[in-house]
Amino acid sequence: MNILNTTESLTSSAVTENTITPNVYRVPVNEMQVCPLDFRYGREAMKRIFDEERRLQCMLEVEAALAKAHAAVGNIPGEHAKLISDRADTGHVKIDRVREIEKSTNHDIMAMVKALTEQAGAAGDHVHLGATSNDIVDTVTAIQLKNALQIIEDDLILLQGTVAELAEKHKGTIMVGRTHGQFAVPLTFGMKMAVYARELQRHLDRLREARPRICVGKMSGAVGTGAALGPHASEIQAQVMKSLGLGVEEASLQLVGRDRYVEYISLLANISCSLEKFAVEIRNLQRSEIGEVAEAFDREKQVGSSTMAHKRNPITCENVCSLARVTRGFIIPTYENVPLWHERDLTNSAAERFTISHASILTDDMLVKMAKVFSNLEVYPERMKANLESAKGLIMAEAVMMAMVRKGVGRQDAHEMMRRISMKAADTGTHLRDQMMADKAVSALFKPEEIDAVLDPKSYIGEAEKTVERTLKELR
């Protein structure tokens, strides 16, 4: 089996296969299920990358690549390399046999090596020649990261597309802007979505820039000198990584530099921050007293509450917020895996079995869920208009102030005048227009029709629509 071909089949279909419907991966019901990833969260395409048997297949692929590289430089016979390569798949090296051997060796990599040696016959003495365990482990991780990054990239593109569609559709849909949870000035819903699309583009840029630093393997022996690989050590390492489509760790001890994993997990954590930000905004805009958008809801079957039959809760967005916090939680152990003793120790090993796979699976899960939320988002322009009107003109105080400046009033004086008038309107529950008309200084500046014009939210959205248009043009 060629792992690169396997990779292509995994990643190219990862989004199109499931589009934006999360595909929950199920394990047999008779197996113990403890981790929620086993039965509740994550899609099969991403989980498959970190599956135990697939990991074994990747290890065997690395061993096969090593044997071929040895043969290429004349270290071992070509027929031995071919025999090892032909047997280096899970059709021959069974995972149950590897587990059985590991019970006695208490070493997972040596168990794999012994199981492959059993299958390699006369070539068995050349299995794992000159390599150390982490040559295999770290190179397999690089393959997994390469595959995972492709899925994450596809997910980001999918999500950005759904957000861009909303930006285009609602570029002129005026709504209240809010700061500190209070009414501010108008903007458009499309502009809000354009901002999100730009943020997703920055994540795509980061991912593409970081990929060559992250997807790096090593084949340089016990402490990185390559001594056991012989005089052609550098050439062997280069050939192995080239055949696997990976970058080469230019200088290593026994491990690939864990700063690379820090960059990967930090990227996923950064993405999770954006996803939670988007989800929080939808949750707030869906609040009963705001009601400007809502997650799609199956009115025929979906249940919002076990007791309150009327409920329509933003459960997917809440789920994303919860999973984002878990994903960011992997940052601390990832950073702490960098400072190891001397050339290496094992304090990073157990943690990395959780951090890399779980962060990858959860990030993929969240991205696809948010794409589904945005693609089916219910937007209520009439409610946005009603909320604008409920402000009774107060959100236009800045617009009036700027109109005063254009008429020759000093900016600070204009601000004080509008502050005083706005407070009076708010305290009395009257419309800002009425208070402006009643104020001699203000009414002397504006005719009634001018007041109506300056208080129209449509007149004060600045370059909101142009921002959307620029964003769509540049991203597409």
Contact (Cβ atoms closer than 8 angstroms) between residue 289 and residue 344: no
Pairing of strands 247-248, 216-217: parallel
178 sits in which H/E element? strand 174-179
CA separation, residue 449 to residues 438, 446, 456 (Å): 15, 8, 11
What the block records as the tokens of 442 is: 């203000």
Cα–Cα nearest to 352, from 363, 338, 367: 338
The dihedrals phi and psi of 184, each to the nearest 5 degrees, come to -115, -105
CA separation, residue 356 to residues 31, 264, 333, 472 (Å): 23, 8, 11, 34
Neighbours of 364 (CB within 10 A): 27
DSSP 150-170: HHHHHHHHHHHHHHHHHHHHT
The catalytically annotated residue of 9, 12, 305, 322 is 305
**Which alpha helices (DSSP H) does 184-258 contain, by range?**
189-214, 233-244
Distance separating alpha carbons of residues 344 and 352, to the nearest angstrom:
14
Q: What torsion do the CA atoms of 171, 174, 180, 182 make, to the nearest 10 degrees?
A: -170
Contact (Cβ atoms closer than 8 angstroms) between residue 268 and residue 286: no
**Catalytic residue list contains 126:** no
Distance separating alpha carbons of residues 340 and 474, to the nearest angstrom:
44
Contact (Cβ atoms closer than 8 angstroms) between residue 451 and residue 177: no
**Catalytic residue list contains 305:** yes
Distance separating alpha carbons of residues 467 and 462, to the nearest angstrom:
9
Cα–Cα nearest to 414, from 394, 393, 400: 400
DSSP 379-409: E-HHHHHHHHHHTTTGGGHHHHHHHHHHTT-
> 3-class DSSP state for residue 372?
helix
Distance separating alpha carbons of residues 317 and 280, to the nearest angstrom:
7
Catalytic (active-site) positions: 180, 305
